[in-house]
A = this chain, B = another copy of it.
Amino acid sequence: MDMNNTAEPRIDNKEDGYVVAVVGATGLVGRTMISILEERSFPVRRLVPLAASAGGRSVEFRGSSVPVQEAVPNAFAGVDIALFSAGADVSLNLAPEAAARGCAVVDNSSAWRMDPTVPLVVSQVNPEALRGHHGIIANPNCSTMQLAPLLQALHKEAGLRRVVVATYQAVSGAGGESVDDLRQQRAAVVAGEKPRSTIYPHAVVLSPIPAIDIFLEDGSTKEEQKVVRESRKILGIPDLRISATAVRIPVEVSHSEAVHVELERSLSPDRARTVFAQTEGVFVIDDPSKEMYPLAEQAAGSDGIFVGRVRTDESVEHGLAFWVVSDNVRKGAATNAVQIAELLIQNDLLWGSASRG
């Protein structure tokens, strides 16, 4: 059993496969989860697309149209695995109902991530955390996800002393409506009109917005605290010194991050590139002489985590800076959720056995 080998899933090709529900099936991440189940040939015997209001909608899966059902507790009867991406409230209500019915939940909301009894897993970073789960597994926040494999690699190689992150986050991190909202703002600018957001108080097409998720009492945002707390939990370093500024920018897909780390031991940029390149799912793009560095446009549609601009940060002992980009909807959300589901079936870690009797 090799829990690190998620790149080439070794899934027993059961004739029957699994019953897989996707909650929030009509949302941006939900639709992407369904695509990725298909792309990765996940052994789906039956797909159960669920949404708060089914409303006669359907989703495409393997060339067929599958009707969306209403997300109610009994919808999880006989379901092996449910991938949730319908917001924290839905997850708080329905994930325990699903688990109580023997269904393993991989939840993409923030509802369960910091629950000490719930594993928070980046597939290639801490798959071992899946052991002993109680039916609910949390998928990390997108801005945390793409950073975790790099931080783990650096920690193993040279010891993390402190991490400072500034994010450049695509609007799709807030869902498909936010993408439409940016498109409308762009069209207004092109038409010579004043752009207005129909969702937010400010128009991101004119200004990077340093406010993602709600503000907390200490002046940080919940998004910034997700980077801090989730990174600590995933990496298993409860006192990791890490801080973030999280910013929305007028880009549709892929989050970018400027990262400055302070290490315990010296690490050259060359060695850092080697360590990154050896990390599963991570690709180094770092040739400034050819204007090659990770770009949101190039990461979009890929499951990779792209790192470049690796250089010494001269302002501190053992300092290193880099730039990391990944498709926030795929590896940052949907792909990692499917990879967790693959780990569950590869390692016989499903919660119930409802459909396998």
CB pair A291 B211 closer than 8 Å:
yes
**Partner of A245 from B242, B269, B309 at Cβ < 8 Å:** B309
Does A52 have its Cβ within 8 Å of any Cβ on chain B?
Answer: no
Q: Which of A208-257 contact B (CB under 8 A)?
A: 208-211, 215, 218-220, 228, 241-243, 245, 247, 249-252, 254, 256
Q: How far apart are the CA atoms of A258 and B248 in the complex, in Å?
A: 12
Q: How far apart are the CA atoms of A295 and B258 in the complex, in Å?
A: 20
Name the residue of chain B whose CB is nearest to the CB of A287: B215
Does A11 have its Cβ within 8 Å of any Cβ on chain B?
Answer: no
Name the residue of chain B whose CB is nearest to the CB of A255: B208
Q: How far apart are the CA atoms of A245 and B163 in the complex, in Å?
A: 14
CB pair B168 A313 closer than 8 Å:
no
Does A190 have its Cβ within 8 Å of any Cβ on chain B?
Answer: yes
Q: How far apart are the CA atoms of A337 and B103 in the complex, in Å?
A: 67
Q: Could you name 29 residue pairs across A and B whose Cβ atoms are closer than 8 Å?
A: A166-B166, A166-B258, A168-B208, A168-B249, A183-B190, A186-B189, A187-B190, A190-B190, A203-B297, A206-B296, A206-B300, A207-B254, A207-B256, A207-B295, A209-B295, A210-B256, A210-B323, A211-B288, A211-B291, A218-B312, A219-B269, A219-B288, A228-B315, A242-B315, A243-B260, A243-B316, A245-B309, A249-B249, A249-B250
In the complex, besides A207-B256, A208-B251, A250-B250, 20 extra interface pairs with C-beta distance below 8 angstroms are A166-B166, A168-B249, A186-B189, A202-B291, A206-B297, A207-B296, A207-B298, A209-B295, A210-B309, A210-B323, A211-B293, A215-B289, A218-B314, A219-B269, A219-B309, A219-B312, A243-B319, A245-B323, A247-B256, A250-B251
Q: Which 10 A-B pairs have the closest CB atoms?
A: A219-B311, A166-B166, A245-B258, A215-B288, A207-B296, A206-B297, A243-B315, A207-B295, A241-B315, A166-B258
